[in-house]
Structure 1
Amino acid sequence: MKPIKSQFLGAFALMLAAVSAPSYADWAQSIYPNYTPPRPASGQVQAQNPPAFTWSKYPYDPSLYVVKIMSGTTVVGTYTVSRSFYLPEAPLPTGTYTWQVTPAGTLSTGAPAPTAWSDPRTFTVDATATMFIVPSDASLAGTIQARARPRQLPSNFTPVSGWSTGMHTDRDAALSSLQTEVTGRITSLATLSDSLWPLVISSPLTSAMVAQQNDVRTQIGLASRQLEASALLYRLTGNTTYLNEAFRRGDELTKLSPLGPTSYTNQDQATRQITLALLKAYDFLKPEIEAADAATPTLQRKLNWMNAVNARMVDIYGDLARNSFRLDQAPYDSHGSTLLGYAAAISTLALGEPNMPNAMTWFTGSFRAYVNWVSIWAGPEGGFADGTAYGQYSLDYSLQLWQPLKQATGIDLFSKPWSLGLSKFFMHFQPPGAPGHVFGDEHDVLTQPTLMKAFASRFSTPYAAWYVSRLSGSTENAVTLLEAEYPLPVTKATSMAAPPNGALYPSIGWAAMLSDINNTNRTAVYFKSSPYGSYNHSHLDQNSLVIDSGGKRLLTEAGYSDYYYSPLAVSWFRTTKAKNAITFDGGVGQVANSDGWRNLLNNGKITAFSTSSTLDYVEGDATAAYNDTLATSPVLSQAVRKVWYLRDQDVVLVVDKLNAPLPHTYEWNLHSMYSTASATAGTSSFTTSGLKVRINNEGRTLCLNSLSTDVALQPRTGAPSKTGITENHMAYTKLAPATAGEFIVVASVGCRNTSATISTTSSGRTVTLVSTSPTGAVLSRDILIGN
């Protein structure tokens, strides 16, 4: 992310005032969209009790802040903190409150901080809020150090020799699988050394550099897993083969230079993985490591391992702490926010070790900040703005980090409202039998239901029980399962229920409309118009659609990425023309800014949503996504899409309204794909007739028809498809340039007989849809689409 230059401040502030003025003009609400917003926002009912407080930093970085919470005119309390967030140590009684914050102490200039109270913001805590209590850092540190090692394992952890019949039934398969994996890799896994990666990483990255970085990540991932798995198996079985393998792999990782190809600068993911794996293994094997050192004083394994951790934490913690803890002010950093979780887990396992004197500094600098946020990619209702692929990766990190944190600290991050909402989010956007990911980077990679099932199994809700039962064919990562509490929380659910068929995740601007979430033959209609814009791993896809049927993708997002922000990704994969969305003038789409933070302003928003047993409706406004925020006039003055899903008819109606100061030729893009390997003879992805399109993906069909007659149906050319995939691209294109444009498209899932007519009444235009339902009944519905 590029630094913000102060000379742009005045002009940018005026621009923001014109297009997206915040509700409060005080200092706690930064004009920069990538800076921390004040939370609780005014008027919010809190999902968590006590609420998490955040605000943008006061200029010149004061050394302290004072937070004031009031109930009416009564001051509930004032709290002095050294960072720009506050997580209370006790819940608040139900009621309505206001809060303010002021700088205190001294500024970075050395001058005393002025008294400058932020505007008051009101919030409510009611009985529905989830309790999430985090004691003081000092209290937590005492709890952690009082835990016997391995402090990362449940207090009732039992070696295999003491397993009950139930544990054998539940975990024998995982144990056997992990033993086979570790034993095989004793001989097959390469011995690592810095010489394996000779390229010097520099900017700009070349494809060879990217390939080396990927190989570093892969090889370090395998070696780190082998270290942790071997140590765990020794703790479970007492077999010294695993102990010796853990010693060997740990020693090998310590010999990699923290300044070499696995350095934080070259491969931050490798550095964090090495550091955490060494501490996890040490936590498992501390008595054995110390005994071996005592028997052979020249060995110094413990010192070597601790020195390696210390050396790598210089870079890890140094990056997190720079600019007075940079993530406090600019949290929208996917690697940084994950790294904060790693630092919290590393410091938790390191506390109390004389060879790691900085562990308490690491802990106080990372733990509370991490649990205060956990994720900045959604609000408390859950979700993951960067897409389900990167959300899937976050599940993996969560299982690796949250389980040891829960056992060592007593703080259960699975109990945060956002965590529960994230699990529900996957139920809607990756329901059982889903054909692929949706929205964002790596939507083209394979889904991993294993991770979704494992994450959901950490909740004891009826929805979690349903999801886990429907993903029964997936086997969890043996390491996280064998480290988990027994029995898993999901087994304690008292009932099982599928989540609703329609759902909105407002903080990320995603809507799901499913025919029957409980049926793998379902139709799934996904819509996105996100306030996160195309920031980070999100794409230029506001007001875009994806449609699935029976586990096959019918309207798809096109393309693939060879690496993050590659030329292929920038020219095709991330663009609007590769989505089922609106472009104009030959594929011109939404704005991508070289200053990444500005992409948060080129965004969308959900302006309406409703759901019922027979009809779902969502409306998105993507106008801001098409306009450069620094331009003097907009390119488009309106880009609104309305989508109705007629659940009883299995029909989708889409209406787009476009306006602009100057004439444009508008385009309604649509894409399909199918696997070359699995396609039956004669399968054709696209067939067309007039303004009608038929999409066929291995017997699952979607027929689209334009009710707007001032369009032509034209083929489009995209980038080469991923190996083994065939893609087709088309667009309904307006016949002539105009300042205003409208598209009305009907999509019938299953291509059942559907007729659509438009009439004008005193209430406005109405589309009448008559179709044969999946059950064979003839159904009719009038949809008022406006003037």
Structure 2
Amino acid sequence: MENASKRTDAATVEQPREGPAWPAELMANANLPFRPTDALVTTQNPPDFDWPFVPGADRYRLELARDAAMDGGALVSAEPVINFYNFPGPLEEGTWFWRVRFHTPEGGWSAWSETRRFRIAEGSVPFPVPPIDEMLARMETAHPRVWTNSRELAAFRERRLHGAAKTVFENARASVLARMDDPLPPDPTFPYMDRSISSVSPEWVKALQDLRKYADTTLDHLLKAAFVYLISGDRAIGEHAKAHLLNFASWDPEAATRFDINDQVHRAVAYRSAIAYDWLYDLLSPEERQTVQDMVRTRIAVLIEHYLDRQPIYQYPFDSHGWTIAGYIGLMGTIMLHDIPEAEAWVRRAVPAFINLLPPWGGEDGSWSQGTGYWQWSSGSNKELMDVLLSAGAIDAYDKAFSRHEGLYPIYMFPHGSPTGVFGNDSHYLPDWPSIGLLNRLAQMYGDPRLQWAAEAIGERTVSGLQDYFYGDERIAPRPPADLPKAKWFEATGLVAMHSDLTDPERISLYFKSSPYGSYSHSQADQNGFILHAFGETLALKGGYYDYYNSVHHRGYTKRTYSANAITFDGRQGQPIDDFDAKGRMVGFASHPAFDAATGDAVAAYRGGELSRALRHIVYMKPSAFVVIDDLAASGPDGVSFEWNLHADERLTLDPDGGATIEKGKAGLQVRLHGADSRGSKASVETRFLDPEGAEATPVAWAAGMSQMHATFATPKTNAATLVATLAPYRLEGGAPQTIASEEREGYLRLSFEGDAVLYVRTAPAGAVVDTGADGYRFAGAALAVHGDSLLLVHGTRVERDGSVVFESDAPATAAWGDGRLSASADCDVALSLAVPGEVALCELVTGRELSADGHPAARLGSQGVHWTATPGRLALRLEQGQHAYRLDDAPLPGPLAPVTLPTEIDGAPGETTLEAWLDVDGGRLAWGRLALKAGKYEVLEAPAGFAFARHGRIGRGALGSSEPVLLRGEPGLLRLRRVGEAGETR
């Protein structure tokens, strides 16, 4: 349904009486939620507005105002006939409030929804969405419309003469020419059309995989041939492509490629044929065009019935296949507009919803709730319609906040060198060609050198996909993300990444999840779970495999909480699977050069009500130790046995001193449990994959025969527990885990780390004040970290040092400060104050923008999210809900430095390489560049201490390319290499 609406002046509208409440069942499950979420800070102007679809409603009233009471009337309003809306013009920056109500012919107007707040940040990017009539009028009437149009076609064809586009074109042409004499592919068959076996059996899945491979291979050939014709005008190849297109149009839509056998094959035949139709349009006779149009019309009718009629995507947006299909409906409608009469209705129904909801699985911070595996596939699918809407002249959806920030997701959650992905199905995939292509496209659209570097750090530019013809801009000079902090909280999806380095592929990384997206679709029941990578190895991993969707192994093990490094109880009971309301919440985060911290609250995910508290705090004591603190409580009087789960890929050994050691490849992880509540835990190791009933759920398909090790530390039955674990990753060769001294004291643990850092962990009941005695600290909070003059308070309200209050807040906050930095967050608006040395100025950490202390407090809070005042030795701030990071001194901002010369000796020949350099966000120097070599295998004979190959890390021997990316931290020194073989040799 199109988003028909009218903007109205509130003063002219009769205010309806208070009516029926919003149905409670619409506030839960996988219904479209209210957006903007309360307290959202957006850089998109205006943001997208959504609310639950109400069956029977004929219209809605959306109102916006600048005051929370909204008693002055709406400044902006609209009455759409569907449950989403995008305004056609920008709003004033600053804080807004919004509400919505629905209308039914029988009951009239409903009560208002809850009033929610959002703030449009200063420097926001306009994203007005014109009415669908205007977008339709803008769209191309001629062909082609996919990736180019009649005005730009000549320039688009010129790309084939240079660079990566030339390689893409030549590869596609050679592939087509090699198969010019092949017979047309026959309509495929499927052995289980009678559904004589289960659709989740291995046999059915194998037959589907064979069907998809056949369809994808033949359709890929069609698109390559049509594309080569579009670019070259080669008549023979065009006729070859046309023959294939008409052959696909002859396939029986009720046979093996029917929707209910496999929706992915059904949709692929339709939308890829539509793309080929667009590119071959001038070769097709009217009768041939009609043949293809009839096929598309027949196949798309089934898609519309499922995802716009029966289960509309704007009512239930969290359907992975449904979301993708809605995009393809919009794509086919855009292609067939003016050719098929019904195509206009396809566009009206699908395109506004796609623009508004893009994407259901993420938010304005660019993150993806279903994990790195499905980010690769779904992000690519999203761009198929985005690119066509752009080339057809409708709208540039790359201006959406999600798209503008999307590149941050792979930089933090799926960086180059990752030994696996993280969270969700298909997380076994490593960063590879999908990431390279997506990063190249994003770098191109925003001119972002950091994304260009991130793509190059994974590998050379991809030239295998047709999109690679126009994805990327080789003129953008790559630059590492030196200006970004090394940790990030993605608020929209409840994900946190903590890294020792963003650029080194052998970084230490911990990933933490407490997500509002539940365990639905491709997400799993792993709220408050973590994953730890170090030195290029997966150490603490997410257990289980995604052999295929809903397999015995996937459903019985991989989806379950006990397969995660998370908390279960009383015999592996955990969070329910396939439940959108099994949610977690990330309620605190801070990042500082000395330490990072995050707090997840997963109590709502344990839907049985057995737990009344399930907080997990994770503290990164930099550079090489993590502390996991679980604050747990049972609801019933008899208590429960809490279970602390840990998973490894290869070797996991229980240690006699209360912990475990994991080894994988060249790295190890020492895990130790501390404190009274951990003593007496029963430790066990399991090598089988057991389902909830204890039966073995063995992986099959590609994961057949694979194994892992699973440890559980189970407490005696108790009503409450504080479980404290330290995790120390280390290199097996020449390394050792960091020494961590543990002292148990009255009401707290004292953990001492190398470099004089100390972490105090409260073990007394929540609300107790911890007094560290001779150490001089008193604090109210879950933990307090100290390193020199820098402090970190985790989920607390007060810190005293030597009798003086150095931090105070009026609500629980997580904050790190010292050395000219402040990072703070809270789950609500919060007032805090802290002791500071001398005078301060408040500047945004990343941008360096100075934040004024002048003006009315409410006005400043409403415009910039903070109001602050400073007196000698004291800084007071009022912060809006969410995360904040500031500079408090005049230290230099990240920026370019003088180039660095790296002396080299390659096979005895002296030389030098000039590297570009930047001052990074923590005040260190990072240099980068490319090393010119004869491609082959090399041995590293000597290297500076801070040297690494961007793609390989600190290798002793390995294959290097002719232009190998390198990194250097610290001072340069001689790099000596010796060539020991050709790149392809295996000796």
TM class, shorter-length: 0.7 to 0.9
**Is the contact between residue 685 and residue 697 of structure 1 (CA under 8 Å) also seen in structure 2?**
no
Q: Check if 1:746 corresponds to 2:726.
A: yes
Alpha-carbon distance in 1 for matches of 2:663, 2:647: 12
The 3-state SS of whatever aligns with 1:693 is strand
Q: Check if 1:782 corresponds to 2:779.
A: no
Alpha-carbon distance in 1 for matches of 2:742, 2:356: 53
Alpha-carbon distance in 1 for matches of 2:95, 2:642: 49
**Is the contact between residue 188 and residue 211 of structure 2 (CA under 8 Å) also seen in structure 1?**
no
Please name the residue that 2:333 is paired with: 347
1:227-242 alignment runs, 5 A limit: 227-242=222-237
Deviation of 1:476 after TM superposition, in Å, equals: 4.8
Matching residue's letter, 2:750: V
The size of the alignment, in residue pairs, is: 714
TM-superposition CA deviations, 1:356-408 (whole Å, max 9, x none): 11000000001011000111112211211111111111122133332222111
Q: Check if 1:366 corresponds to 2:350.
A: yes
1:426-505 alignment runs, 5 A limit: 426-444=410-428, 446-459=429-442, 460-484=447-471, 487=473, 491=476, 497=482, 499-505=484-490
Deviates more, 1:710-719 or 1:247-256: 710-719
Alpha-carbon distance in 1 for matches of 2:721, 2:460: 48
1:498–1:259 CA distance, 2 compared to 1 (3 A) = farther
Please name the residue that 1:395 is paired with: 379
TM-superposition CA deviations, 1:493-540 (whole Å, max 9, x none): 899646321011122111100111111110110111112121111111
Matching residue's letter, 2:438: F
**Is the contact between residue 669 and residue 737 of structure 2 (CA under 8 Å) also seen in structure 1?**
no
Query: Structure 2: which 5+ runs fail to align?
Result: 1-19, 690-697, 731-735, 765-987
1:500-511 alignment runs, 5 A limit: 500-511=485-496
Deviation of 1:202 after TM superposition, in Å, equals: 7.6
Q: RMSD of the alignment, in Å?
A: 2.8
Counterpart selection for 1:248 from 240, 243, 246 = 243
Q: Check if 1:515 corresponds to 2:500.
A: yes
Matching residue's letter, 1:673: D
Alpha-carbon distance in 2 for matches of 1:161, 1:635: 64
Q: Check if 1:673 corresponds to 2:649.
A: yes
1:264–1:757 CA distance, 2 compared to 1 (3 A) = same
Alpha-carbon distance in 2 for matches of 1:26, 1:492: 53
**Is the contact between residue 184 and residue 244 of structure 2 (CA under 8 Å) also seen in structure 1?**
no
Deviation of 1:148 after TM superposition, in Å, equals: 4.8
Larger radius of gyration: 2
Q: Check if 1:303 corresponds to 2:286.
A: no
**Is the contact between residue 262 and residue 270 of structure 1 (CA under 8 Å) also seen in structure 2?**
yes
The 3-state SS of whatever aligns with 2:122 is coil
Deviation of 1:475 after TM superposition, in Å, equals: 1.4
TM-superposition CA deviations, 1:129-188 (whole Å, max 9, x none): 221122221221122134552453165344797448xx5123222223223333445567
1:249–1:652 CA distance, 2 compared to 1 (3 A) = same
Alpha-carbon distance in 1 for matches of 2:602, 2:117: 29
Alpha-carbon distance in 2 for matches of 1:158, 1:475: 24
Counterpart selection for 1:729 from 685, 710, 733 = 710
Please name the residue that 1:560 is paired with: 545
1:432–1:729 CA distance, 2 compared to 1 (3 A) = same
Matching residue's letter, 1:713: A
Alpha-carbon distance in 2 for matches of 1:740, 1:362: 56
Please name the residue that 1:220 is paired with: 215
1:450–1:151 CA distance, 2 compared to 1 (3 A) = closer
Please name the residue that 1:545 is paired with: 530
Deviates more, 1:653-662 or 1:331-340: 653-662
Counterpart selection for 2:515 from 524, 530, 546 = 530
Please name the residue that 1:680 is paired with: none
Matching residue's letter, 1:315: V
Deviates more, 1:723-732 or 1:655-664: 723-732
The 3-state SS of whatever aligns with 2:753 is strand
The 3-state SS of whatever aligns with 2:611 is coil
1:779–1:726 CA distance, 2 compared to 1 (3 A) = farther
1:238–1:398 CA distance, 2 compared to 1 (3 A) = same
Deviation of 1:283 after TM superposition, in Å, equals: 1.0
**Is the contact between residue 28 and residue 57 of structure 1 (CA under 8 Å) also seen in structure 2?**
no
TM score, norm. by length of structure 2 = 0.68
Alpha-carbon distance in 1 for matches of 2:398, 2:290: 34
1:781–1:535 CA distance, 2 compared to 1 (3 A) = same
Matching residue's letter, 2:647: H
Q: Check if 1:657 corresponds to 2:631.
A: yes
Counterpart selection for 2:162 from 159, 168, 179 = 168
Higher strand share: 2
**Is the contact between residue 167 and residue 463 of structure 2 (CA under 8 Å) also seen in structure 1?**
no
1:120-139 alignment runs, 5 A limit: 120-139=115-134
Counterpart selection for 2:400 from 416, 430, 434 = 416
Q: Check if 1:718 corresponds to 2:714.
A: no
Alpha-carbon distance in 2 for matches of 1:25, 1:693: 53
Please name the residue that 1:20 is paired with: none
Alpha-carbon distance in 1 for matches of 2:183, 2:710: 44
Counterpart selection for 1:699 from 658, 666, 670 = 666
Please name the residue that 2:315 is paired with: 329
Deviates more, 1:174-183 or 1:267-276: 174-183
Deviation of 1:547 after TM superposition, in Å, equals: 0.6
Matching residue's letter, 2:404: L
Deviation of 1:723 after TM superposition, in Å, equals: 4.3
Please name the residue that 2:851 is paired with: none
Alpha-carbon distance in 1 for matches of 2:572, 2:24: 40
Alpha-carbon distance in 2 for matches of 1:242, 1:201: 40
Deviates more, 1:737-746 or 1:567-576: 737-746
1:376–1:769 CA distance, 2 compared to 1 (3 A) = same
**Is the contact between residue 198 and residue 204 of structure 2 (CA under 8 Å) also seen in structure 1?**
no
Alpha-carbon distance in 1 for matches of 2:480, 2:739: 40
The 3-state SS of whatever aligns with 1:329 is coil
The 3-state SS of whatever aligns with 1:182 is helix
Alpha-carbon distance in 1 for matches of 2:498, 2:127: 31
Please name the residue that 1:636 is paired with: 611
1:26–1:45 CA distance, 2 compared to 1 (3 A) = farther
Q: Check if 1:193 corresponds to 2:187.
A: yes
Deviation of 1:196 after TM superposition, in Å, equals: 4.8
**Is the contact between residue 581 and residue 669 of structure 1 (CA under 8 Å) also seen in structure 2?**
yes
**Is the contact between residue 68 and residue 79 of structure 1 (CA under 8 Å) also seen in structure 2?**
yes
Deviation of 1:307 after TM superposition, in Å, equals: 0.5
**Is the contact between residue 618 and residue 628 of structure 2 (CA under 8 Å) also seen in structure 1?**
yes
Matching residue's letter, 1:475: T
Alpha-carbon distance in 2 for matches of 1:450, 1:742: 43
1:755–1:162 CA distance, 2 compared to 1 (3 A) = closer
The 3-state SS of whatever aligns with 2:568 is strand
Deviation of 1:584 after TM superposition, in Å, equals: 2.4
Q: Check if 1:54 corresponds to 2:37.
A: no
**Is the contact between residue 453 and residue 479 of structure 2 (CA under 8 Å) also seen in structure 1?**
no
Percent identity over paired residues: 24
Alpha-carbon distance in 2 for matches of 1:601, 1:350: 39
Q: Check if 1:646 corresponds to 2:621.
A: yes
**Is the contact between residue 242 and residue 280 of structure 2 (CA under 8 Å) also seen in structure 1?**
no
Q: Check if 1:376 corresponds to 2:364.
A: no
Alpha-carbon distance in 2 for matches of 1:585, 1:119: 39
